[in-house]
Structure 1
Amino acid sequence: MPGNAVLIGRVGALAVALGVGVAIAGTAGTAAADTTESGGGGTQTESRPERESAASGNADLGDSSPRDTELESAAADTDSAPAAGTGGGDDAAPARTSSGRLPRTLTVRTADLREPADDDDDHDDRDDHDDRDDRDDRDDRDDRDAGSDEPDPGPSPADVAALTALGAARREVGSASSGPSAASPQMTDRPTPQTVAVAAASPLGTPQQLAAEQLAQRISGSLPVQLARLFLKAGFYFAAQRQFDRVGGPDPENLRRLDAAVDAYAMGAAFQQQLLNSAEPTVVMQVAPPHTWYGQSVGASRILYDNPDTIYRFMGVNGASSYVIRGTFADVDNLPADTSFSVLTGLTGNTAAVLTKDQLVIEPDGSFTITADATPAGGRTNHLQLTADTTLIATRNTLSDWARQAPMSLEITRVGGPPNSLFSQLGGFAIPGIGPAVVRNPALTTLVSLIPPLPYVPTLLRGTVAAVIMLLGVQREETYMRVATTDPGTGERIDPNVLKDPARNAEFLATQLQSAGYFQLADDQALVITVRPGGAGYFVVPVTDDWTVTEDYWNVQTSLNNALAVADDADGTTYTLVLSPTDPGVANWVSTGGLNQGTISIRFQDLDPDAAILPSVDARLVRLEDLPAEMPPGTRWLAAGERAAQLAGRKAAYDLRFAPYPQP
């Protein structure tokens, strides 16, 4: 069957199914929506009750399926370690919360990296996929990497380069295993997950992530995305003219950065498109800086006040399914300053549930398991309840000490729910109104699940979906600009160089406090910011441009947090930082990165709910020549050469995120 006919036929069938479903949705549906889901080695069946959860709270970011084929070895000559157990080797050892302290080795998970190119002329070879309705028969891989459902034509040169680089990296840093080398990569469609001990390699560089990045590059270059860029650029520009009207709109330097901000939003949309099929979930690092590793260069996907200290990862989920999330902290003696898992709903990303750092139960070896489904926790630890309108689980690792703290390894597996379908593949569960209605009605869930997914998803179709996501971003971007430029109580525009009192903002994570504003500084001016953390265990002062995007924070000190800054007193009750375009010689300098105009969103996290003193912030505009008189006693001033050493240490610590690949 020609590929176009497959696409048209299945979309038409889905439309009919939805129409029939709407007609019967009001009746008492008795058909069971739950089906067996094969995976790993056995069949699991979940009975799904009616979903009746109400969402509450808010979220920010703003800030390859787990069932994919895996490689037991990244290269034929790479040493392989035995599969790591889930326990710490001592059955009697108690589970620990995030305050537990036991060292362990770093682990990364290996998997199939294959990512096919589109080939619209080769539909005849895919006919065997068109009639494959049995979801348990998956001997032919459909390219599940990064959520793709395209058939696998074999590794591309980029894939081979990435796998070769991964193997070479392991040889360079040495394998922690003394086991025998694998004779050849063993590929299966639903293997038991394995971990391989690797020294000094980032847990972020999973083959699923690399494949998602390859696909995102293709999507962002598609015609629909390029056309959407024009609309997005105009929307950003006019939004900035309105929001920064008190300073005459965006200045020339911010206008120069507009294209980069639009490109980053397009890349973010390309990643988000891959998350829409919640029947084939994957963990995708997004809201990330540009980086080069494993033979590929990836553009920025930073948006909406991204935090330089935070690693953002997202997983597509739906309320009709159940999931298991597994992760490991490599060094429980140096856990991230903050870690959270948030259940996000709809297209706006409101938070329905949060699992915080203090609630997360971690085993002595640093591993943890989280369950996610529509049922309440019922006494279970590490559980997230999904609502009918749930679309994503967002996770954040906030690293206050870049040199010592590392992000966790992470994977997700769907263990129950309706079979993969065209409805899920096209993001039906994420469509407002339609998705929740399908989740709440078992008969409707069964009906839309009858149409199987497409054997592959053309890049043009992916690009069209990503373009729609981009168009929604125009309004969202202005909302985030308004956080910095507008008084939330009066709705009136505020002056520059004024920081609002820390508060929970509707567009940010519910467990954070933020103090936002925007600056307008001459080269000889500075904004002296006094931060009193109160009951917050972490704060950061980052600089973003008018488009709410960070710049080069690895080579330039455009952010500073409480772990890297010098406190005014021994108890760390007050910090004084200097934000300016010109280096004032203060250790606590936050560079504007060449900006005279931009935005600030100071974050406070790891909040003590019982703290009597809440965080507070104040700012005052001074001339650089008057700065010494404005600084508190004991301020640390840098001698010649100390700034260069400070920045070199910052860059070396940043590179650990993409180890073993130093970044430009």
Structure 2
Amino acid sequence: MVHSAAVIGRVGALAVALGVGATIASGAASADSGDQGSESSASSSSNSGESAGTDTRREAPREARKAPPQRKASDRTSLSVRTAGDPERSLRTQRRPAVRANTEPDNELRQAPAATPEDRRSSDDPPAPAENPAALTALAAARREVGHDTAKIVESVADGQTTSVTAAPVSPLGTPDQLRAEKLAKRIVNSLPVKLVKVVLRAGFLRAAQQQFDRVNGPDQENIDRLDAAVNAYAMASAFQQQLLNSAKPTVVMQVAPPHAWYGQTVGASRILYDNPDTIYRFMGVNGASSYVITGRFDDLDNLPADTTFSVLTGLTGNTAAVLTKDKLVINPDGTFTITADSRPADGRQNHLQLTADTTLIATRNTLSDWTNQHPMSLEIARVGGPPNSLFSQLGGFAIPGIGPAVVRSKLLTALVSVVPPLPFVPTVLRGAVTAVIMALGIQREAQYMAVATKDPTTGQRIEPNVFKDPTRNAEFLATQLQSAGYFQLADDEALVITINRAGAGYFIVPVTDDWTITKDYWNEQTSLNNVQAVADDPAGSTYTIVVSPSDPGVANWVSTGGLNQGTISIRFQDIDPEAAHLPTVSAQVVRRSELGSVLPPGTRYVTAAERAAQIALRKSGFNQRFAPYPQA
């Protein structure tokens, strides 16, 4: 009852503050707001926290309080880095700028916080070896020191004692923040609001599929059998998104991920909306009233990911407001980099992202074309300026359309919403209620993404199955990507033959997804191929012929449908040369498997059963590295 009263009291206070503020602000809008794209409004947004009594030193996590070591001028060199499928590319490097130390953190950061009631209510999760604070700290330290080395001795000094620990290889993805987010997401999806909305979501997905796939009489039984898994994955993704809503306490969260087990916990799939098997997706909740510093590290500059992007996303739809691409990312000689993000223009700052008033997320993608040698980057975020944490931010107020941008633009509203402090912890049922709202929005989103495969991007008219046209920019969430999307309908003895000329793209992938736009078991089955995994038709590596079919035709460039006769495909092209004279092209045709020899190019490589098994084994080994040292079953 006490906790309920606290929730009701603070929510009521927030509502009063918003109501009074909105009335007053309507008369002062001209002074406190402006166009988000203008320099003046950016300055206003960046200063709004200061006008609200903000101490810009208060909110940065402890990791940001110590300035990184300064490097000598001789370290500012130019690196020549070769990436898979790319010509040799020169990357500028710089001395890593120091993050200003926070010398006066607020009370909640002055000492290690005690376990919250929500943290203690986790008996439904299996025990994690790195669950206690000391173990999590050691895990984070080992990860920073070891990276992907097979083994390394880490020395630490405590109470005058020096100890040596042999650290096993670890994944930069398994951070303490990630493990906590996964445990919390599991509790959220088991809450009553989420369970209720799953029923609605299932009906909405099914209705959308019946409409979008009307040319083939709707989803077939194989896809209907996978509907529950799709709904569960969307619920899990929504539970992660709910945790990103408090942009005053940002963390880096991996989602749109396959099911995995590590550190004593099993995590369900959060794959949605044409997830790419090659891409590691991580998200950070941000708002235009605050400023942030993102730090990261690539462990091997000779094997950088095929593509890396940092995208500023706005609103609920995830439209892209700004992108930092890999060719613009300045990396230090030791593989580290620093990115700043705030409402001001770059003004000469390298690695800067400008946040708009309606910014909600920064999304980062590591695309690994070579699963064996390329690894995801380490990544952390710290908030270094902005209004104090509040109930408004805790409940995702900055992400609410209309309200969030209005608060960012108005110094007065920012001050008013900052008056009501955050709750000591957010009850799981409340998190579940917010997650349920996010899930409900998924009905429209799923229909929209199905339409990417079932409609002509130019005319908007429904297309027949097995039709793939030249790629276009049809994904608002990744403006630097080209896509050729479509859906297939194949008999057991049929194959879809896709011919790709990647032209100025350094990377492409052909992944199979079901009617619900979700990949299947791409680690144990070859349900996708990229330009590094596939065999080119020509010595220049520009043209590729891919065979998509339910059963193995014995071709090296076979993409399995995972047993599906109906499904979707979104062929992606990334790392596109802006100076390229020609863009990628795609064509497709359906043939009987017995007729494959007549349409495949001369020199097509075929494989034996043993060679196919070796292909899959190499694939699984590369996949396991993402979750090292915990190989996936």
TM-score, normalised to structure 2, is 0.87
Contact 2:80 2:91 in 1 (8 A): no
Contact 2:515 2:568 in 1 (8 A): yes
Contact 2:194 2:433 in 1 (8 A): yes
Q: How far 1:492 moved relative to its partner? A: 1.7
Give the distance between the partners of 1:501 and 1:510, measured in 2 at CA. 17
**Counterpart among 266, 269, 288 of residue 257 in structure 2:** 288
Q: How far 1:489 moved relative to its partner? A: 2.4
**Is 2:258 the partner of 1:275?**
no
Q: How far 1:509 moved relative to its partner? A: 1.1
- Call closer, same or farther: CA 1:182–1:618 in 2, change over 3 Å: farther
After superposition, what is the alpha-carbon deviation per residue over 1:553-602, rounded to whole angstroms, capped at 9, x for unaligned? 00000000001100001001210010000100000000000100000000
Which position in structure 1 is the counterpart of 2:49?
34
Give the distance between the partners of 1:597 and 1:476, measured in 2 at CA. 21
Which position in structure 2 is the counterpart of 1:309?
278
- Call closer, same or farther: CA 1:513–1:468 in 2, change over 3 Å: same
Give the distance between the partners of 2:538 and 2:427, measured in 1 at CA. 59
After superposition, what is the alpha-carbon deviation per residue over 1:72-100, rounded to whole angstroms, capped at 9, x for unaligned? xxxxxxxxxxx995567775333658746
- Call closer, same or farther: CA 1:506–1:399 in 2, change over 3 Å: closer
Q: Secondary structure at the match of 2:27?
A: coil
Which position in structure 1 is the counterpart of 2:61?
67
**Counterpart among 363, 381, 395 of residue 394 in structure 1:** 363
Contact 1:401 1:564 in 2 (8 A): yes
Which position in structure 1 is the counterpart of 2:448?
479
Q: How far 1:151 moved relative to its partner? A: 6.8
- Call closer, same or farther: CA 1:241–1:154 in 2, change over 3 Å: closer
RMSD over aligned Cα atoms: 3.1
**Is 2:475 the partner of 1:498?**
no
- Call closer, same or farther: CA 1:655–1:88 in 2, change over 3 Å: farther
Give the distance between the partners of 1:381 and 1:475, measured in 2 at CA. 38
- Call closer, same or farther: CA 1:89–1:100 in 2, change over 3 Å: farther
How many residue pairs end up in the alignment? 587
Q: How far 1:436 moved relative to its partner? A: 0.3
- Call closer, same or farther: CA 1:377–1:384 in 2, change over 3 Å: same
Q: Secondary structure at the match of 1:602?
A: strand
Amino acid at match of 1:591: S
Amino acid at match of 1:93: R
Which position in structure 2 is the counterpart of 1:602?
571
Contact 1:342 1:393 in 2 (8 A): yes
Which position in structure 1 is the counterpart of 2:224?
255
Q: How far 1:490 moved relative to its partner? A: 2.3
* Structure 2: runs of 5 or more not aligned: 33-43, 82-88, 93-104
**Is 2:19 the partner of 1:19?**
yes
Q: How far 1:168 moved relative to its partner? A: 9.7
Give the distance between the partners of 2:201 and 2:242, measured in 1 at CA. 17
- Range with bigger deviation, 166-175 or 204-213: 166-175
Which position in structure 2 is the counterpart of 1:51?
none
Which position in structure 1 is the counterpart of 2:611?
642
Determine what percentage of the aligned residue pairs are the same residue.
Answer: 66
Q: How does 1:29-178 map to 2 (within 5 A)?
A: 33-35=48-50, 44=56, 67=61, 91-94=74-77, 99=89, 135-136=106-107, 138-139=109-110, 153=120, 158=126, 161-163=129-131, 176-178=152-154
Q: Secondary structure at the match of 2:588?
A: strand
Contact 2:185 2:236 in 1 (8 A): yes
Amino acid at match of 2:77: P
Q: Which has the higher helix share?
A: 2
- Call closer, same or farther: CA 1:198–1:536 in 2, change over 3 Å: farther
After superposition, what is the alpha-carbon deviation per residue over 1:299-322, rounded to whole angstroms, capped at 9, x for unaligned? 000000000000000000000000
Q: Secondary structure at the match of 1:333?
A: helix
**Counterpart among 227, 233, 241 of residue 196 in structure 2:** 227
- Call closer, same or farther: CA 1:651–1:573 in 2, change over 3 Å: same
Amino acid at match of 2:342: D
Q: Secondary structure at the match of 2:303?
A: coil
- Call closer, same or farther: CA 1:409–1:69 in 2, change over 3 Å: closer
Q: How far 1:177 moved relative to its partner? A: 3.4
**Counterpart among 476, 490, 493 of residue 524 in structure 1:** 493
Amino acid at match of 2:76: A
Contact 2:524 2:619 in 1 (8 A): yes
Q: How far 1:36 moved relative to its partner? A: 10
Q: How far 1:68 moved relative to its partner? A: 6.9
Q: How does 1:301-380 map to 2 (within 5 A)?
A: 301-380=270-349
Which position in structure 2 is the counterpart of 1:110?
none
Contact 2:62 2:109 in 1 (8 A): no
After superposition, what is the alpha-carbon deviation per residue over 1:238-258, rounded to whole angstroms, capped at 9, x for unaligned? 100000011110001100000
Give the distance between the partners of 2:78 and 2:176, measured in 1 at CA. 30
**Counterpart among 140, 155, 173 of residue 179 in structure 1:** 155
Contact 1:95 1:362 in 2 (8 A): no
Q: How far 1:493 moved relative to its partner? A: 1.1
- Range with bigger deviation, 481-490 or 454-463: 481-490
Q: Secondary structure at the match of 1:503?
A: coil
Give the distance between the partners of 2:596 and 2:243, measured in 1 at CA. 49
Q: How far 1:159 moved relative to its partner? A: 5.5
Q: How does 1:539-554 map to 2 (within 5 A)?
A: 539-554=508-523
- Call closer, same or farther: CA 1:84–1:95 in 2, change over 3 Å: farther
- Call closer, same or farther: CA 1:269–1:469 in 2, change over 3 Å: same
Contact 1:485 1:518 in 2 (8 A): yes
- Call closer, same or farther: CA 1:338–1:197 in 2, change over 3 Å: farther
After superposition, what is the alpha-carbon deviation per residue over 1:464-485, rounded to whole angstroms, capped at 9, x for unaligned? 0000000000000000000000
**Counterpart among 389, 393, 396 of residue 427 in structure 1:** 396
Give the distance between the partners of 1:339 and 1:140, measured in 2 at CA. 36
Contact 1:150 1:457 in 2 (8 A): no
After superposition, what is the alpha-carbon deviation per residue over 1:382-407, rounded to whole angstroms, capped at 9, x for unaligned? 00000000000000000000000000
Contact 2:295 2:381 in 1 (8 A): yes
* Structure 1: runs of 5 or more not aligned: 47-64, 71-82, 103-133, 186-195
Contact 1:37 1:416 in 2 (8 A): no
Contact 1:222 1:463 in 2 (8 A): yes
- Call closer, same or farther: CA 1:68–1:552 in 2, change over 3 Å: farther
Give the distance between the partners of 2:273 and 2:122, measured in 1 at CA. 35
